[in-house]
Chains A and B, each alone.
Chain A
Amino acid sequence: MQIYLPIAEISANIFALLGMGGMVGFASGMFGIGGGFLMTPLLIFSGIPPAIAVATEANQIVASSVSGGLAYWQKRAVDIRMGLVLMAGGMLGSIAGVYLFRHLLMLGKVDATISISYVLFLTIIGSLMLRESIQSMRAARQGKTISLRRPGQHSWWLRLPPRIRFRQSKLYISIYPPLLIGFLVGLLAAIMGIGGGFIMVPAMIYILRMPTNVVIGTSLFQIIFVTAGITIMHAVTTQTVDIVLAVLLMTGGAIGAQIGARVGQRLKAEQLRSALAIVVLLVGLKMFYDLVNKPNELFSIVEKGIGL
């Protein structure tokens, strides 16, 4: 059954879109990730213009972070104050990102920028995750546990004034590192069509030294607001948000995520992380190949006055 997407201005198969949403939702439920960094490339591979894929995915992430974040909110596993500081940085970063996005779109460089960002981040994060999961699998075999949090003396950048007390995270640290992390993740979120959880969560654990029990809830909390802001800004500046496409992805994604979460609970965390790392690396590799391989068609057209 076909449905016409009013912003992408193409007709697509409803079940294919629901299925794509479902698959990525399954992965996101299983691995506990947002899935934006899988969904956006998948949309691009299937022929949705990259600019529309990015903006529409921001809209979908709002839905998936609300449904994922609700549980953490009810368990009070959200550091609201930290969330607000990250969000403030995220808003500034995403404003810069949307502005840059619009500029690149006019220059015809947005597609390549999206691809390059993906290649860089997917390779870096994928390699780090793979290394870390292999190490902890080895450690588990030897009967050791690796503590992610190493309490003790804060580095100098965490002591820069003004400092804020984050009670829920049991931290008294400078406002600048969370602001800067929020800013960078917001910038990437706007350009790449991601929530940025897969960058935010490690940054919160390793750089801000937050306790792991509030990390995911806080990350989702700020992602809701930042991606909502990004959706509105993309809609206003470039008219690239396709609500029909977003709703189909949300529906498939929501169902997939619930099934994925149930399957994920039966698997070991290290195995899940190494599987995710491999998926991440493969997506990055495919994007890298598309960038360096000589395309069959060197030319492309943009018609001015008829959308993008």
Chain B
Amino acid sequence: MKQFLIAGIGLCLIFISPSFGAKLVTDLSKDEIAIEANFTGDKILMFGAIDSTSNAPKADVVVVVRGPSINALVRKKEHQAGIWLNGAEVTFGAMPSFYSIASNRPLAEIAPVKTLIDNELGTQALEHLPISGAFISEELQDFAAAHIRLKKRQGLYRNDDAGVQIISGRLFRSEITIPTQVPLGDYKIDFFLFENGRLTATQSSMLTVDFYGIENTLHVLAHDMPLLYGLTGVLIAILMGWGVATIFRRL
């Protein structure tokens, strides 16, 4: 059913697109992710149409979902006095907190390395710019590699070489799973169209990830009114402790 719907939307897009002269028309299944108490992750469908009326070269589509930028502090444990303690550390400035890239075939086959690096396509192409900590280049590479490895393990960085399906050369779809530990904020979704290894069109959309309901209330309270939040925690504890003792004495 979903497929038909997308195909339908896609067809409409194809008929509309030439009049706007766009080579790439895209959309998302939703533009907001609400984290509530029962949040266990979410899925987003990104889809669109390619205008390849030109002499039909091989078209490739790359979709990048990028979370808000943050500074990533990477620490390395060292063996000190018989135990393993955090030692050397490096902070990489302005790293995406979430980065998921999907393409219809391996990136290396789609475009030359330089193009990939210039457009920060692929987790390996993300620029790790140290803003504090160790600056020895060899060590820096270890820290950068560890950063990518850890983010991948958390499910927050992803490279999917087969994450975009192109249907009859004109429609495409890509679905990503948003994990529960997804960072909050504004996400940017970039669509890239490559034809014969050349970047010929781009499109962008926005996506918001935010807390809702009780989760939102508590999160806002904890960070904006921490004293009230702490007092609330203590009050709940006193009432629960007192309530439980009273109930069980009657049993």
Contact = CB atoms under 8 A, between A and B. Distances in A.
Given A59-B237, A62-B237, A11 B40 contact: yes
A298 B76 contact: yes
Given A10-B181, A66-B245, A294-B84, A300 B237 contact: no
Interface string A216-246: 0000000010001001111110010101101
Interface centre among A64, A66, A297 (most CB of B within 10 A): A66
A291 interface: yes
A258 B237 CA distance: 17
A300 B77 contact: yes
A288 B227 CA distance: 35
Contacts of B143: 299
B72 A301 contact: yes
Contact of A236 (B83, B181, B227): B227
Contact of A300 (B97, B150, B233): B150
B234 interface: yes
A250 B214 CA distance: 19
B136 interface: no
Interface in B152-178: none
Interface stretch (B103-111, B115-123, B218-226): B218-226
A301 B219 contact: no
Given A70-B242, A292-B84, A2 B222 contact: no
Nearest to B183: A306
Interface in B59-110: 68, 70-79, 82-86, 89, 91, 97
A156 B76 CA distance: 49
Contacts of B146: 298-299, 301
B212 to A, nearest CB: 10
Interface stretch (B14-22, B31-39, B46-54, B192-200): B31-39
A255 B35 CA distance: 30
A220 B218 CA distance: 29
B237 A235 contact: no
Nearest to A116: B83
A306 B39 CA distance: 19
A59 B241 contact: no
B238 interface: yes
Interface residues of A, number: 58
Nearest to B86: A108
A71 interface: yes
Nearest to B92: A301
Contacts of A131: none
B229 A243 contact: yes
A223 to B, nearest CB: 11
Contacts of B222: 6-7, 235, 239, 241, 243
A143 interface: no
Interface string A98-112: 000000000011011
B237 A60 contact: yes
A174 interface: no
A298 to B, nearest CB: 5
Contacts of A116: 83
Contact of A258 (B84, B236, B238, B248): B248
Interface string A242-265: 011011001100110010000000
A112 B83 contact: yes
A299 B150 contact: yes
Contacts of A246: 233, 236-237
A60 B236 CA distance: 10
A64 B77 contact: no
A11 B70 contact: no
Interface string A262-304: 0000000000000000000000000000011111011111111
Contacts of A9: 181
B230 A301 contact: no
Interface in B1-57: 35-41
Nearest to B151: A301
A11 to B, nearest CB: 4
Contacts of B73: 108, 301-304
Contacts of A64: 241
B241 A66 contact: yes
Contacts of A300: 74-75, 77, 86, 150
B215 interface: yes
B239 to A, nearest CB: 8
B141 interface: no
Nearest to B181: A10
A254 B251 CA distance: 14
A67 interface: yes
Nearest to A247: B236
29 contacts: A3-B38, A4-B39, A6-B211, A62-B237, A62-B241, A63-B236, A63-B237, A66-B241, A67-B244, A109-B86, A232-B227, A246-B233, A247-B236, A247-B240, A258-B248, A292-B83, A292-B84, A294-B79, A299-B75, A300-B77, A301-B73, A301-B151, A302-B73, A302-B75, A303-B70, A303-B72, A304-B72, A306-B68, A306-B184
Query: Top 6 A-B pairs ranked by shortest CB distance?
Result: A66-B241, A235-B230, A232-B230, A299-B146, A62-B237, A11-B180
